[in-house]
Structures are given as structure tokens and as C-alpha cells.
A and B are shown apart, each in its own frame.
Chain A
Amino acid sequence: MSIEVENLRKVFQVREGSRGLGGSLRGLIRPQRREVVAVDGLSFSIAAGERVAFVGPNGAGKSTTIKMLTGILHPTSGSIRVLGLEPSRERKQLAYKVGTVFGQRTQLWYHLPARDTFDLLRYVYDLDGDTYARRRDELVEMFAIGDLISKPVRQLSLGERMRCEIVASLLPAPSVLFLDEPTIGLDVTAKATLRDLIHQLSVRDGSTVLLTSHDTGDMERVCDRVIVINHGAPLLDEPVAELRTHYIRRKVVTLMTADATVEVDLPGVTTTSHVPHRTVLEVDVEQTPVEAVVQAAMRATRLRDLTVEDPPMEEIVQAIYAQAGSKP
């Protein structure tokens, strides 16, 4: 097993603000604290080479769990083994074996080309020269960043920078890759490219991926299994394909059209908003596939642009709750 988590619990002590000047002064002398349970009785295991999405709404305990898995936070109780190591005690040894990508947190040097950061990481991770050069060249080719790594990082777009960030995290050839919101802020094309690359690389290297994201697309395109948590407790653990069948039934299709309006009269398709030349449809994919909706729209008018979005994670969690509630 790559990762084994058993009955994990994390409780934070949070200082409570007091009302008024008197309360503030009392707070200075004797601060009031309350306990916040961030993770509550979480257990799961992940085999080597598995790609697992770790999802849930804001405050669900995803990032806290990832921090405990990397040794940044110590659990209040329960046990964790990552690649046979106990992260809270063996953080430094673990750091050589795991890669981390935290969206919008950079490790690239802003005024310098990404290549310089890669060269630095060679020393940080004690890689020998040949191994480093081989690995770097492979990743540079795979992520198609040959033209980018000689430009100062400040001149790169967010999508280009994220590709360089991920290459930086993959240079030490980590056995486990933790990705925390890796596509946050990226445009649709950059997201798709990055998801494909992460998936391909994990398959090629046999590396384990644990991904947290609010974006349902990240989960669907990168991972094979999903663990949904809420309020720090596990809610669901099943293959992504099953989650898709059970809960991701709805897609949001936005059509930008040459004509002011477009009518798509198909079962399970409803128009949720409309302004001239822009129509938003909600599609129940169990009744009508997205493909059929697009074809119908193209027959009716000329399409200038089109986007297909998944329902937000919060909605999926609500659906899971609703289903759990309806079960006997």
C-alpha cells in the first residue's frame, strides 16, 4: 500500500474573539479557545499506482488531511503510513519520496527561467547529474515546455507556469504525488492539457496520485477512484465511473449563437438562462447525451462558441447526502 490511514482525527484549538473593548482586554489576559474538529475518524488505504480524488466542499477537511499525509500537521489521534513512513516523525525522509503541487503556490523563482529552479531542485533533492538531466529532459518533452523553460517565469501565462510547477514537483520522481487544486484559475484548455499530462505520467511511472479539487472535471479526467468527505468524515468511497453514473447526471451547456435565440427541444434539456446570443441549458445526460444537444443546436443555428461544465462539487455532495438519506 502507498497510503494507509486509520481512524484519523485532527482537532484544532481556535481562539475565540470576545465582544467589546472589555472582552478584547480579557482575551489578551485569558484567551478563550474552542475546539474545531477538522478531520473525524477518517480511514482509507490507497494502493501503489492508484489515482484517487479526495473531494468535498470547503471546510470538509481535505487540505488538513493532505497536510497530515505530508507531515506538515500532526494528527490528534489515529495513524498514517505513507510509503511505509510515519509523516509526522519522518517528514524529511518522506519529502524525498513525495511530490506536492499546491495550486497558486509557486516554487518557481519569479525573475528567472524555470530551468534555474529545476537546476536548484537537483541539489535540494540530492539527485545525481545524469539522473536529473534525463528526468528533466523527459518531463520537458512530455509537458511540451521546451520553449518556456528559458523564459523568465514572470513572462509565462498561468497555464504555462502550472505546467512548469508540475514538472518541478515531478523532477525527484516521487512515488506519491499530492495535488491540491492543481487546475485552480486555469482556462478550459490549460485545465484539459494539465489533467491529461498528470494522468499519462502517473500511468507511465506507476506513481500514486491523491488529488483534491473543487472541480469535478479534475476528478473525472485524472482519477479512477473517489473519496468524498464532509465535515472531516468519510461520506463515500467508490470508483469514479460509479460516482459519474450515480451522481453526475447533469451537465451545464452554454451556447453562444449567431442567432439571438436557439430552441433545443429534447427530453431532459431545460433552458436555465437566456440573453440574446447566449443560452444556458441544463442537460440530464441520462435522458439525452450532450452530443445530441450540441447537434440539435447546430441544426438550429450557427454556433460561435460552446462550453460544457460539470455540476459544482457542492451539488454532488448534496446529491450524495440526499441519496444516503433516502436509503433505509
Chain B
Amino acid sequence: MKYWAILGIAARQALAARGGLLGRLLFFWALMTIFSQLWIAVGPEYAVNYTWYLGITELVALGVPQIYIGIEQDVRRGDIAYRIGRPISYVGSKIVEGAGEFAVRFAVLATFGMAGTWLLCGQLPAEPWSLAFAIPLAFMAGLLMLILQALIGLSAFWLQDAAPVYWIVQKLLFIFGGLMIPLSVYPGWLHDIADATPFSAMLYGCGRLVLDFDPALAVDTAWRLAAWAVLLLGLLILVYRRSLTALTVNGG
């Protein structure tokens, strides 16, 4: 119940910050417009599918709030010491706060952003039902990104500055996730490397469904996202415990 309440208040806070939501939506539309025109210029036969692909991957890339910043600031300013003194998990509440904000952003982008993508493409993907699988999977991918960001934020305990770590992870997400170009276009060896990371499932795993829909692929992506979530959650618990030890013994 505590975490539901946090989810609710975070969603309300995200709704209250309307300017940020609108700016994000405008940026999404601008990006889709530019890339749809680019795909038309490069290869009109791919333009519709690749624009829809980008629409799905950008749902994750643009929708997930940067919760690592709040965690990093709490660590650097020492506020984390005060926040752990509440009857609730600090890192759990941060992820749930992020999930609440993400849910609102995602709903806006998945509704109005996707409507804009439809207008730009003039048609739905070849298999319209693929969207009913790709969009919920993109939401799952966003939740996985929140876990990853919590880990990045806690790295401030050792590194002070988590921004460079986030910067690297974000670039890896764009490259190994196939943000703009599907991994199927990558050379085989690079595709294999990408598949060994969580990023492939987070972006390509969701986006590929609008290119070549197969329910088995959706199930495969869901499993991979769930497996990475379990793995990263386990790692997060370990890192969080070590952080708390550092904090309670030596003040962080």
C-alpha cells in the first residue's frame, strides 16, 4: 500500500508539471518528423516500418525519468542519511517514484506520440496488432531502465559523480539497443554482442515487433526483460546493502 501511494503521488506530480510533459511530446514529434523524412529520403520502402520502430524505441528512451540524478544528489548532499530514517525502503521508493512519473509520461507519449507517428506514416504498422504487444513491452523495458538507473545513482557512493556512468550506459543503450536502426541490420558479431546485454531486449526486442510481428518474439522479449530485471534487482539489493553499510558506519 505504501508503494502504491508513492506511485500515485509521483504520477500526480508528473501531471502537475505539464510544461515538461508537453515539451517531451513536442520533442518526440520533432524527432519522428525528422527521421520519417530521413527514411523516406534513404529508402521509401522501409520508411513506414522504420518510423514505427523508432516510435516504439523512443517511448523507452524519452519516457524514462532520470531517477539517477535524484539518488546521486541525495548521496552527494548527504540527504540519503535522512531519507533512510523512514519506515520505507529508500531505493524502493525511488524506483516507485520513477515508475509513477514514467507511467504518466509513457501514457502521454503512447497516446499522442503514437497518434502523431500514425499521422506521419499515414498508416499503421503492417501488423497493427503488433502495437498491442510492443507498447506494454516498452513499458516493461522502461521499468528495467529504472532499476539500472538506481544502480547508476548508487555508484555515487564510490564515484561521487554518477553522470559519466549514466552517459556511458545511455550510449550503450542507444548502440546495443538499436535505438534508430534495428539490430537485424547490424553485422552478425555486433548483433551477438548486443544480445548479450539488457539493452537489446529493452529497445530492439520491443521495436522489432512492428517490423516482423510474431507472438513468439513478444514472449521471448518478455522473458528476457524479466530475466534481466531479476538479475539487476539482485545486483541492486547487493549494492544498496553495501551502500547502507558505508553510510551507517562512516557516514557515506
Contact = CB atoms under 8 A, between A and B. Distances in A.
B13 A120 contact: no
Interface of B is mostly: helix
A71 B85 CA distance: 7
B248 A72 contact: yes
Interface of A is mostly: mixed
Interface residues of B, number: 23
B248 A112 contact: no
Interface of A: 12-13, 64, 67, 70-74, 88, 91-92, 95-96, 100, 102, 105, 109-112, 116-117, 119-120, 122-126, 152
26 contacts: A12-B251, A13-B250, A64-B251, A67-B251, A72-B85, A72-B247, A73-B249, A74-B248, A74-B249, A91-B85, A95-B85, A100-B82, A100-B85, A109-B13, A111-B16, A112-B9, A112-B12, A112-B16, A116-B12, A122-B5, A123-B2, A124-B5, A124-B86, A124-B88, A126-B2, A152-B16
Contacts of B41: none
Nearest to A11: B250
Given A71-B248, A123-B2, A124-B88, 17 more contacts: A12-B251, A67-B251, A72-B81, A72-B82, A72-B248, A91-B84, A100-B82, A105-B82, A117-B9, A120-B9, A122-B5, A123-B5, A124-B2, A124-B5, A124-B86, A124-B87, A152-B16
A73 B248 CA distance: 4
5 pairs of A and B residues whose beta carbons are closest in the complex: A123-B5, A111-B16, A95-B87, A74-B248, A70-B85
A120 B5 contact: yes
B6 interface: yes
A109 B79 contact: no
Given A112-B12, A152-B16, A73 B81 contact: yes
A96 B85 CA distance: 10
Contacts of A111: 13, 16-17
A117 B82 CA distance: 17
- Which of B2, B85, B247 gathers most chain A CB within 10 Å? B85
A123 B82 contact: no
B20 to A, nearest CB: 10
B251 to A, nearest CB: 6
B1 interface: yes
Nearest to B93: A124
Contacts of A123: 1-2, 4-5
B108 to A, nearest CB: 16
Contacts of A91: 84-85
A74 B5 CA distance: 30
B85 A116 contact: no
Nearest to B20: A111
B251 A73 contact: yes
A123 B1 CA distance: 7
A142 B206 CA distance: 54
A16 to B, nearest CB: 14
A109 B16 CA distance: 11
Nearest to A64: B251
Nearest to A109: B13
Contacts of B247: 72-73
A67 B87 contact: no
A64 B251 CA distance: 9
